Structure 1
Amino acid sequence: MIAVEGYQGLRVGVLGLGRSGLATCAALMEGGAEVCAWDDSPEAREKANAEGFGTVDLTKQGTVEGLDVLITSPGIPHLYPAPHPVIAAALAAGVPVDNDISLFFQALENRDEPPKVICVTGSNGKSTTTALIAHLLTVAGRDVRMAGNIGTGVLSIELPGEGGVVVLELSSYQTDLARRLAPDVAVFTNLSPDHLDRHGGMGGYFAAKKRLFTEGAPARAVIGVDEGEGQYLATQLAQSVDDTRVIRVSSGQKLNGPGWSVSARKGFLSEWRGGKQAHSIDLRPMAGLPGAHNHQNACAAYAAVRALGLAPRQIEAGLASFQGLPHRSQLIGEKDGVTFVNDSKATNVDSAAKALQAFPKIRWIAGGLGKEGGIAALTPHLGAVRKAYMIGHSARDFALQLGDTPHEICETMERAVARAAEEAEPGDVVLLAPAAASFDQYPNFEKRGEAFAALVQDLLGR
C-alpha cells in the first residue's frame, strides 16, 4: 500500500467503495487523514465497515460541505449525463473533487527516487498493451508493478525498488478527473466511440483521453496515428517533424519519416529513427499477438519500453513469450485442425471488427445485449466468416443485419459452441467476439468468456 501524505488532519470523503475505493481509504488513513467513506450500496458499506473504515452518509444534507476534499471512484458520473448527488453537492460547495490516480502521482512527489511511470489510455487494446509492457519489462529484469483500470487499485500496490517501473492502464473516467497526471511515458492506442454519455459526446471523450498528454506533459508520448484524433494529438505535442519526444505508432501504415516511429505491416514490426530503419521483428509466429490489432498493441508496447532504454533484442524475446490476456484473442485450444479463440472483451463493433480481421476462416459466435446500431457497421468485415452463430438478447436483431452471411440463431452459448464445433472444418477458427455487452446472460464479459472456455475445454477432453 502507498501512504498518501498531505491530508493529515483533513476530513476527506471517499465516494465509491469498490476495489479502488477501499484502497484509497486505507492509503489516506495511513497518511493521517480523517476518512468519511460512503457507497450507495449497503453491501459495499458493510464490507467497508468490516475492514475498519467507518462510513458517513455523504448524501445527508450539509455533510459534504464539511469535507476538505472528495475522492470519487471512476465509475461514478461527475458531470455527464448528470453528476452523482454527492459530487453535485461538492461542486456547489466548492469542495475539490479528485481521484486515486491523482493521489498516486501526489504520493510520488514526496519520493527522492520515484519509479518510472508508464500510463496507457485509448479505446481498444489498453489492457493488452499495459500487460505487454509489464511483461516486456519483467522479462528484461526490471521490477514492475501493474495497476489501474486493468484490475488493481493503484494505491494498493507496493512501489517497486530501484530502477522499477509502474505501468498503469487508465480509462477516460480516470484521466478526465485526475488533478495530477505526471507519467514519464504516456501511450495513446486509438480512439473509437465509447462512453459518450459520460463525456457529453465524442469531443468530450477525446478531451478526457488527451488530458494525459496535455496536462501530464510526459517525457515521451507514444501515439497511435491510425485515426484522425491520434494524428492531431501527435502533431499538437511535437515541436517539429523530427521531434523524438513523440513516437508515432501504426498498424497498416508505413511510418518512416524523419522522427521516431514504430509500425507493423504484413506481420513485421519496424522501428524507424531519423529516416533510417533501426530494427525489425517478425510478429507472425507470436501466438499471443494474433491479428493487426494486436500488432498495433505490440508496436505501442515496443515504443514505450524503448523509451525507457530496453534493447530491441530484449523486447523481441519478451514479445515471443507473451501469452496474451484472458478474453482478448485468447487461444483456448485446438482439435482436429480447428482453433478456438476467446475474445469476449470484444464488446463493441470496433473491437469485434479487429477480431474478425485477425483470422482467415471464422465460425463466429456473437450476440448478447446489443448496443446502438447493432452490428451493421461490421458488414465490411464479414468476408472471413463462414457462418455466424447468434446468442443472447440481440440474436435475432443481429441476424437481420448479417446480409448474405450464413447464420443460425442459437440463443445460448452452449448450443453455439456445440454447433460451431460440429460444423467446423480443419483450418477454421471458432471465434467468440460478441460485439455486445454480456449483461443479458452473464454478469460481465469475463464470466461470458469463462463459460465459452469451459465448454471448449469439455470438447477438447481436458
Structure 2
Amino acid sequence: MIPVQGLEGARVAVLGLGRSGISASRALTAGGAKVICWDDNPAARARAEAEGLSCGDLLGPGALDKVARLIVSPGIPHLYPAPNPVVAAALEAGVPVDNDIGLFFQSFATLAWDHYDVAPRVVAVTGSNGKSTTSALIHHILEHVGRPCQLAGNIGRGVLDLDPAVDGEVVVLELSSYQTELARALTPDVAVFTNLTPDHLDRHAGMGGYYAAKRRLFAEGGPDRAVIGVDEAEGRFLAGQLSEGPGDDRVIRISAERKLSGPGWQVFARKGFLSEYRRGKQVGSIDLRGIQGLPGAHNHQNACAAYAACRALGLAPRVIEAAFHSFGGLPHRSQTVAEVNGVRYVNDSKATNVDSAAKALAAFKNIRWICGGLEKEGGLGGLAEAQGGVRKAYVIGREAAQFAMQLTAEAEVCGTMEKAVALAAAEAEEGDVVLLAPAAASFDQYDSFERRGEDFVAQVQKVLAE
C-alpha cells in the first residue's frame, strides 16, 4: 500500500466503494486522514464497515462541513451527463474533488528516494484502444530485462495498492479518460497516447470533451517524454502542442499506418516491420510478423508505443525485440485460445466498440465472426469496409436480429454464445479463424467483457471436447 501524504488529520470523504474507493479509503487511513465513506449500495457499505471504515450519507446535514477533499470513483459522473448529487454538493461547498490517481501522484515519492541510486519512474498509458496491451507489454519488457516494476491503474491493481517503490523501479499505469479527467495531480515521467476513437461520448459530452480528458495527462502532467500516436488528427495536434519544433525529441511520434520522417524521434510499423528513426537516421528495426502475441496492425501500433516508451527509459532495441517474442498477449485481447485441425479460435472480447472490432477483423483472414451485444452510440457503419475477410457472422445478444441487419457479411442470428460457438465451429474449415470481436458492450448478457470472453473460451473447450 502507498499511504496518502499531505492529508494527515484532514477529514476526507470517499464516494463509491468499489476497488478504487476501498483502496483509497485504506491508503488515506494509513496516511492519517479521517475518512468518511459512502456508496448507494448497502452491500458495499457493509463490506467497508467490516474493514473498520466509517460510512455516512454525504448528502446529510453538515456531511461536507470541514471536508478537505472528496475522492470519487471512476464510474461516478462529476460533470456530464449530469454531476452526481454528492459531487454537485461538494462543488457548491467549494470542496476539491479528486480521485485515487491524484492521490497516488501526490504520495508516490517519499524521503526514502533520497538514498536511491536511481529514482523510481512512472510510465502512464492512455488512449481509446490498445492501452491495456501497451501497458502490459511495457511491463513485460521491463520484467524481461530484470528491472523492478509494477503494473496498475485501469488494469491489474489499484494504484494505491501498489508497494512503495524500490531503487530504480518503474511503475506502469493504464489510465482511462475517467481517471485522467479528474486527477488533481498527474506527473508521469513518460506518458503514452495510443490513439483516439469515439467512446464514452455521453460521459464527456462529445469528442472534444473526451479528447480534453486524455490531453490532461500531457498538459497537466508535463512528462519528460511523450509518446504520441499520430494516426488521428487529435494525436497530430497533441504532438504539435507538446513539441518545441520538428527536432524536439521529447516527443516520440508513432504510427501503424505510414512511414514517419523528419529530424525528430519516430517509431512506425509498415508491412509488419517496426522501424525507429532519430535525427533522420534509422537506429532500430524489428520484424513483427512472426510474433503471435501481437497480431495485426492494431497490435503493431501497441508494439510501437511500448517500444518507444521503453526506448525512452533507456532500453536497447534488441532487448525489447527479445521480450516481444515471449509476450503471450492479454486475455480477451486477440488471445488465441485453441488451434485444432487448422482452425484457430481467438478471443477478442475487449473489442467493445466499432473501431477495435474493425482492427481485430483486419488482423485475420477467413473469419467466422462472433459479434453482437449492447450496441454503442453511432451504429455499426464503421464496420462496413472491415467485413471483407468475414466468411460468416454469428450474432449474439438480446438485440441480435437488429444487430445482424446492419452487417454486410452473411449473418446468422444465434442469440447465445453457446449456439454461436457451436455453429461457427461446425461450419469452420481448415484455415478459418473463429473470432469473438463483439463490436458492442457486454452488459445485455454479461456483467463485463471478461465474463463474456470466459464464456467464449468455455464454449470453445466444450465444442472441442465433444
> Normalising by the residue count of structure 2, what TM-score does the alignment of the two structures yield?
0.97
Distance 1:402 1:49 in 2: 50
The match for 1:120 is 125
Q: Which amino acid aligns with 2:335?
A: Q
Q: How does 1:440-459 map to 2 (within 5 A)?
A: 440-459=444-463
**Residue 372 of structure 1, aligned match among 374, 377, 382:** 377
Post-superposition offset of 1:110: 3.6
1:383 match: secondary structure:
helix
Distance 1:121 1:430 in 2: 29
2:455 match: secondary structure:
helix
The match for 1:80 is 80
The match for 1:36 is 36
CA deviation map 1:123-151 (0-9, x unaligned): 00010100001001110111111110113
Cα gap change, 1:201/1:111 in structure 2, threshold over 3 Å: closer, same or farther? farther
Cα gap change, 1:180/1:374 in structure 2, threshold over 3 Å: closer, same or farther? same
CA deviation map 1:251-301 (0-9, x unaligned): 021013211011011111101101111011011111100000000000000
Does 1:385 pair with 2:390?
A: yes
**Residue 442 of structure 2, aligned match among 438, 442, 446:** 438
Asked if structure 2 preserves the Cα contact closer than 8 Å seen for 1:115 and 1:159, the reply is: no
How much identity, in percent, do the aligned residues show? Answer: 66
Does 1:169 pair with 2:174?
A: yes
Post-superposition offset of 1:112: 4.8
Asked if structure 1 preserves the Cα contact closer than 8 Å seen for 2:425 and 2:434, the reply is: yes
Cα gap change, 1:111/1:301 in structure 2, threshold over 3 Å: closer, same or farther? farther
The count of corresponding residues between Structure 1 and Structure 2 is 461
Root mean square deviation of aligned Cα: 1.1
Does 1:143 pair with 2:139?
A: no
Asked if structure 2 preserves the Cα contact closer than 8 Å seen for 1:65 and 1:95, the reply is: no
The match for 2:361 is 356
Q: Which amino acid aligns with 2:103?
A: L
Distance 1:222 1:273 in 2: 14
Distance 2:377 2:122 in 1: 36
The match for 2:421 is 417
Q: Which amino acid aligns with 1:104?
A: F
2:55 match: secondary structure:
coil
Distance 2:90 2:234 in 1: 33
Distance 1:96 1:160 in 2: 28
Post-superposition offset of 1:369: 1.4
* Structure 2 gap segments, 5+ residues each: 114-118
Q: How does 1:15-414 map to 2 (within 5 A)?
A: 15-113=15-113, 114-403=119-408, 405-414=409-418
Post-superposition offset of 1:6: 1.3
Post-superposition offset of 1:377: 1.8
Post-superposition offset of 1:322: 0.4
Post-superposition offset of 1:459: 2.7
Distance 1:83 1:322 in 2: 41
Asked if structure 1 preserves the Cα contact closer than 8 Å seen for 2:372 and 2:395, the reply is: yes
* Structure 1 gap segments, 5+ residues each: none
- Large movers: runs of 4+ above 2 Å: 108-114, 458-462
Asked if structure 2 preserves the Cα contact closer than 8 Å seen for 1:261 and 1:273, the reply is: yes
Distance 2:404 2:462 in 1: 28
1:333 match: secondary structure:
strand
Asked if structure 2 preserves the Cα contact closer than 8 Å seen for 1:364 and 1:433, the reply is: yes
> Normalising by the residue count of structure 1, what TM-score does the alignment of the two structures yield?
0.98
Q: Which amino acid aligns with 1:29?
A: T
1:68 match: secondary structure:
strand
Asked if structure 2 preserves the Cα contact closer than 8 Å seen for 1:115 and 1:162, the reply is: yes
Post-superposition offset of 1:109: 4.1
Asked if structure 1 preserves the Cα contact closer than 8 Å seen for 2:108 and 2:164, the reply is: no
Post-superposition offset of 1:374: 3.0
